[in-house]
Structure 1
Amino acid sequence: MRLLLLSLVFCLASCQSGQKKKETATAQVLNGKSVAFDLNGAIEDCESQLEIAVPKLTDLSKHPRLIETNETEWKEIPNGRLVWTSGFYPGILWYMYEITKDEKWKQEAIKRTEVFEDFKTITEHHDIGFMMFPAYGNGYLFGDKKEYKDILLTSANSLASRFNPKVGTIRSWSNKMHPRWQQHITIIDNMLNLELLFWSAKNGGDKSHYDIAVKHAETTMEHHFRDDYTSWHVVEYDSLNGKVLNKHTKQGLHDDSRWSRGQAWGIYGYTLMYRETKDKKFLDFAQKIADKYLELLPEDYIPHWDFDIDTTKDDDRDASAAAIVASGLLELSTYMEDEALQNKYYNAALNMLTSLSSEKYSGVGKADSFLLHSTGAKSLGHEIDVALIYADYYYIEALDRLKKMNSVN
């Protein structure tokens, strides 16, 4: 069955030699039409975009964060202990090396990764997972940089230090950073940082990291989701007894709205949980979140920045959410025993990638990014209809996953 072959993708470091690779993968229907996704073409476009952008990004004290509306070049911001996006650019370079095996991308990735080793001691917030694993984790996995192991283990210890056993989650933000909330804050985004803890538990780190990740996911599953399997963004807990105090948003339309990237973090996060634990409750939950998300999508499979906006007045999309979900659904499809469900999630992911690579959303010929039309925080008045570095990261991750899946088909 395809399930057995696809599942190997996430267990093996490299694909078996001599297996035939597909150049395209066919999606079912997009906007009422049968379409084919040109995987090799999408990868070539990404590489050509990096060829344009990398020579411009020479200041190692900064990283590309966004391309403003109607601009063409990346706006760089200083690397800093409170800047959660710093790991995505080196992560992109590691993926390009993994896909092409071109040594120049490995050398560029090393150069961009090793400038923030000191971030391994960050305990001020939860984003150390986002900052360190795409860079040092991918370097360890794809670049055979075994010397990164201790950096990753220290990073995991730093993240684990924010776990509150009375609450059952890792504290995401400090109250000084976000004074609206006075006690223990956890955001749905935090699900992605659990990968660092699982990696640590398997690679010589504290075995409690596994238990912390599982408990965080269980608590989040209990309190962060509505009956319809959509997610709140922020949950505030009493630090002493774990009681839920408030359910709010920071980047969504309003406190009770369905912020699309929040739903994306959930789909990806609970798929990750099943990969690492093989606990069927996490697989079942990932499916329920994914099914609800797919119900809410417009025809082109790219969500609006919040599912509850008035689309007669606001058409801003979030390509970053689509890229995250596409990557997550590709993996989710490999865990389905039923072929119809395999195809459901696989084809949905292909439809997302087809739209993202299309003239409407691609940055090719228009800007230095892979993708356009992401929304970072419209409710806060910034990063509206822009290119975002993490949209590009999850897009190239999805392409890498699809390439590996095709190579074992």
Structure 2
Amino acid sequence: MTTRTPTALGAGSFEPPASLCAAAERAMDAAQAKVDRLVTAHPDYFPLYTEQGKWHHPKEAWTNWCEGFLGGQMWIFAETTGDPLWRGRAEHYSLLVEERKHDRSVHDLGFVFWPTWKRWYDLTGDSSRNDVVVTAGKTMGLRYNPTGRYLRSFLAPDSLFIDIMMNVGIVLYAAQHSGDEALLALAHEHCRTTRRHLVRGDGSTAHEGIFDVHTGEFLRQSTQQGWRADSSWARGQTWALYGFGTCYALTGEAQYLDTSIACADYYIDCTTDQLVPPNDWSEPRPRLPYESSAAAIAASGLLQLADLVDEQRAVRYRHHAFSTLERLCHESFLAGPDDPWEGLLKHASYHEAKGLGVDESVMWGDYFLVEALHKVLGGTRTAAAIRTPSA
């Protein structure tokens, strides 16, 4: 299957307001202070979420998927500041996760290697760094169920998660950079299966799909973190928004762009001027009003999508992203550098049903906020962030 790099149709339109740029600078300073304190107090430690505002605690992880987000922030700090301290830390924390390139137990290797080794490669052009990314993508491909045509979740062989759309990009990338047509085909099949069974006609998404592992028959939608199987878990919605956009940027497949647009429009229509969603919009009496990590992911995903669509949509997506980021940079959500709260972004939740990291900071929330602010301040954009092989 032929691949191409799509034109960034919306690039350059609707610049961020000065107030957001100033807030972004302050937030990036706070982020550096938070990460510096974390790695000084707990070197070589990879937290997922805070407990009463503290990163170091003995509570359950559920699954092993967040190790790339700490190093990913360091790579952004290194690029932003040019400080060799951050560059050294970024390399060190990337090396700590290198052996995960062979980890067949999770569906999250994109989360581990895209923020770390992919950024390392983009900064240096060193092919040995890219080899690690490609190996991780090939390992992810081993999760493929050929009867159901999906990459199975960590939870069970019959389970497909919407989250995997944020990780299948590393499989597509590995296939393109290794010339592996079979790997490329299965990655596309996963995207199409997800689109067919987890993305609904109104652009909303289910968290999980359950299949017959022997026949490949799709059985039902389900959820692990949303309110009900037929509702839309907000963070899952943003994984789809961002993930399908990335897959379009990698391949030029128009159906992926259409899906990302549908998911983005549903997200914006549900979130409206509140800007920060609850855990699930359908829940009649949500436990908490906000799940801020979903908003941070959406902001970064919308900024990517704005570079890939026509001007009218680009303006809408940037406006919502900029408004969201101004909200997240307000003191009601952002912990300042002198705040004893150890995370950066407050009012996020990991797993409400399990009571893990509820109304806390989460490492991916901090990372995607930093990533989005980096884009606002002129950092890496879609065309530079995603390389396809010249061949």
Shorter-normalised TM range: 0.7 to 0.9
Residue 327 of structure 2: aligned partner: 355
* CA apart distance, 1:143: 5.0
**How large is the RMSD of aligned CA atoms in angstroms?**
2.7
1:26-41 alignment, distance < 5 Å: 26=17, 36-38=20-22, 39-41=24-26
Residue 168 of structure 1: aligned partner: 149
Question: Where does the alignment leave 5 or more consecutive residues of structure 2 unmatched?
Answer: 1-6, 384-391
Number of residue pairs aligned between Structure 1 and Structure 2: 372
Question: Where does the alignment leave 5 or more consecutive residues of structure 1 unmatched?
Answer: 9-21, 28-34, 176-182
Aligned with 1:290 (options 264, 283, 286): 264
1:24-63 alignment, distance < 5 Å: 25-26=16-17, 36-38=20-22, 39-58=24-43, 60=44, 62-63=45-46
Secondary structure of 1:239's aligned partner: coil
| CA distance 1:230–1:6, change in 2 (3 Å) | closer
* CA apart distance, 1:240: 2.7
- Kept in 2: contact 1:63–1:76 (CA 8 A): no
Secondary structure of 2:39's aligned partner: helix
- Kept in 2: contact 1:66–1:76 (CA 8 A): no
Residue 326 of structure 1: aligned partner: 299
* CA apart distance, 1:108: 0.5
In proportion to residue count, which structure has more strand? 1
Aligned with 2:249 (options 263, 266, 275): 275
Q: Which moved more, 1:238-247 or 1:354-363?
A: 238-247
Secondary structure of 1:378's aligned partner: coil
Q: TM-score, normalised by structure 2?
A: 0.87
Residue 342 in structure 1 maps to residue 314 in structure 2 = yes
Q: TM-score, normalised by structure 1?
A: 0.83
2: CA distance, partners of 1:5 / 1:315: 38
Secondary structure of 1:361's aligned partner: coil
Q: Post-superposition, which runs of at least 4 consecutive aligned residues in structure 1 deviate over 4 A?
A: 3-8, 405-408
Q: Which moved more, 1:321-330 or 1:35-44?
A: 35-44
1: CA distance, partners of 2:199 / 2:233: 12
Residue 379 of structure 1: aligned partner: 353
Deviations 1:26-83 (A, max 9, x none): 29xxxxxxx745232332232233333332231x2x31222223x3x322679x9951
2: CA distance, partners of 1:185 / 1:5: 36
1:100-249 alignment, distance < 5 Å: 100-142=81-123, 144-175=125-156, 183-204=157-178, 206-249=180-223
Aligned with 2:363 (options 389, 392, 396): 389
* CA apart distance, 1:290: 0.7
Secondary structure of 1:236's aligned partner: strand
* CA apart distance, 1:385: 0.1
Residue 370 of structure 1: aligned partner: 344
Secondary structure of 1:384's aligned partner: coil
Secondary structure of 2:377's aligned partner: helix
Aligned with 1:68 (options 22, 47, 51): 51
Amino acid at match of 2:332: K
| CA distance 1:76–1:155, change in 2 (3 Å) | farther
- Kept in 2: contact 1:316–1:375 (CA 8 A): no
* CA apart distance, 1:147: 2.6
* CA apart distance, 1:300: 3.2
| CA distance 1:328–1:4, change in 2 (3 Å) | closer
